[in-house]
Amino acid sequence: MEVKLAVLGGSGAGKSALAVRFLTRRFIGEYASNAECIYTKHLCLDGRQIHLEIYDPCSQPQRGKLSLTDELHWADGFIIVYDISDRASFAFAKALLYRIRESHIGACKKMAESSVFLVGNKQDLCHMREVGWDEGQKLAIDNKCQFCELSAAEHYQEVVVMFTKVLRTITSNFKVKEKRRPSGSKSMAKLINNVFGKRRKSV
């Protein structure tokens, strides 16, 4: 099974550090914000083999119009990251969520079934907090997505738990799609049989 995940956030929110922490267990504090990467990882989740692709785009400017067209069509799920010690990054996360929610109103079924997880990063900087936990929780509820706070720098296990939740949600959406297909196939087979059944018998 192939799963495509986009990790989005403003410059300095720690989205790249979060992705690399999950993939390698290592924490790297600084990344080039003008570089984009697609990381790949093979893993087993609940007995299923998964080929995971994580897209980490260039950090977009926190002002101006957001363009997520490619990500919205490519990804099965999104992790939106903000820095709890930087209110501007929270405002940017809010804009990202709005853009994703806006796309859900459209007719694209894949977008409507995509999974979104809001992450307040840098919990180790709690003494410099500018965004309250309750603010993150409310934003997640308003946008019908999951939410957590963690520290990519200090707690590898929390990062793994968060990614695992996202992947489980995405794969459960895949299972729903798989269940729908056979019933559709049976209906189509029945329709074909009704149309051509008599002709077969007459031959």
Q: Of the ranges 13-27, 32-46, 141-155, which is most confident? A: 141-155
pLDDT at 183 exceeding the cut of 70: no
Q: Categorize the per-residue pLDDT at 184 as very low, low, confident or very high, splitting at 50, 70 and 90.
A: very low
pLDDT at 178 exceeding the cut of 60: no
Q: Categorize the per-residue pLDDT at 7 as very low, low, confident or very high, splitting at 50, 70 and 90.
A: very high
Percentage with pLDDT > 90 across the chain: 51
> Residue 8's closest CA among 159, 119, 126?
119
Q: Is 187 helix (H, G, I), strand (E, B) or coil?
A: helix
91 by Cβ neighbours in 10 Å (0-12 / 13-18 / 19+) ranks as middle
Q: Using CA atoms, how far apart are residues 23 and 17, in angstroms rounded to an integer?
A: 10
Q: Using CA atoms, how far apart are residues 48 and 140, in angstroms rounded to an integer?
A: 29
Q: What angle do CA 57, 61, 63 make, to 5 degrees?
A: 140
Mean pLDDT along residues 72-98: 93
Q: Find where tokens 């069509």 sit.
A: 73
> What is the pLDDT, as a whole number, of residue 135?
98
Q: Of the ranges 95-99, 137-141, 168-172, 196-200, which is most confident? A: 137-141
- Give the side-chain half-sphere CA count within 13 A for 105: 6
> What is the pLDDT, as a whole number, of residue 71?
76
Whole-prediction pTM:
0.78
pLDDT at 199 exceeding the cut of 60: no
Complete DSSP assignment for 96-162: HHHHHHHHHTSS-HHHHT-EEEEEEE-GGGGGG--S-HHHHHHHHHHTT-EEEE--TTT-HHHHHHH
Q: What angle do CA 190, 196, 201 make, to 5 degrees?
A: 110
> What is the pLDDT, as a whole number, of residue 103?
75
Torsion of CA 122, 128, 133, 134, to 10 degrees: -150
Percentage with pLDDT > 70 across the chain: 71
